[in-house]
Amino acid sequence: MNQSELLQFLEENNIRFELTSHPATFLMNEERDFTLPHPEADAKNLFVRDDKKRNYYLLTVRGNKRVNLKEFKQKYQTRSLSFTSASDLDKYLHLTPGSVTPFGLLNVDGYHVQFYLDEDFLKDEALIACHPMINTATVTLKTDDLIHLLEENGHSVNLIQF
């Protein structure tokens, strides 16, 4: 699924969203020459794997948070975690570096990647802003709509406090 197919899929599923085009971004801490309409909803997405390359995890947190992989490992009793390679990102989510997004789960079955979503996305306006399969745009939608969409397509959503 590419950006246009995703947007069409959202429309077909009656999911309201806001699309913002912008220059390519690769890291959350990059200085941006643009402002998103809902900066509080900005998501940081980390695609990690265990040291045996048997279990893969997509961690989605608010953009201003830091993720401690050692704490995550202890809390969820995983093996040691590290970031995946570009080839694993392509293999498991059909995405490229810089464009990691929960929408990538729609490209694959629900068994290879475990998805963990920051509970804070359910607070306040309950919005989440993610790349639509490419890092030159951001889609903002209701967090509940994202959760429902993923679950309807065979993916478990683990809500946790990061």
pLDDT digits (tens, 9 = 90+) for 113-130: 999 999 999 998 899 999
Q: What is the mean pLDDT of residues 86-94?
A: 94
pTM, to two decimals: 0.91
Tokens of 157: 């959503």
pLDDT band at 32 (very low <50, low <70, confident <90, very high): low
Beta bridge partners of 60: 45, 117
In sequence order, the 6+-apart residues with CB closer than 8 A to the CB of 74 are none
pLDDT of residue 31: 46
pLDDT of residue 25: 74
With a cut of 60, say whether residue 86 has pLDDT above it.
Answer: yes
- The token pair that represents 63 in the structure block: 């953009």
Buried b or exposed e, range 71-95, using 16+ CB within 10 angstroms: ebbeeeebeebeebeeeebeebbeb
What is the mean predicted confidence (pLDDT) over 103-107? Answer: 95
The superfamily CATH assigns to domain 3-26+39-160 is YbaK/aminoacyl-tRNA synthetase-associated domain (3.90.960.10)
Query: What whole-number distance in Å separates Cα of residue 153 and Cα of residue 42?
Result: 23
Could you tell me whether strands 81-83 and 43-50 are parallel, antiparallel, or unpaired per DSSP bridges? antiparallel
CA distance 138 to 42: 9
For the chain, what is the mean pLDDT?
91
**H-helix or E-strand containing 109?**
none
Residue 111 or 20, more confident: 20
Hey, is 25 helix, strand or coil? Answer: coil
Task: Give the per-residue pLDDT at 83.
Answer: 95
Separation CA 150–CA 52 (nearest Å): 27
The answer on pLDDT for 40 being more than 70 is yes
Check residue 85 and give its pLDDT. Answer: 95
Domain range list for the chain: 3-26+39-160
Q: Give CA–CA dist 65/103, Å, rounded.
A: 20
Q: pLDDT class for 50, splitting at 50, 70, 90?
A: very high
Tell me, what's the pLDDT at 154? 92
The mean pLDDT of 48-76, rounded to a whole number, is 94
Distance CA 105, CA 56 (A): 12
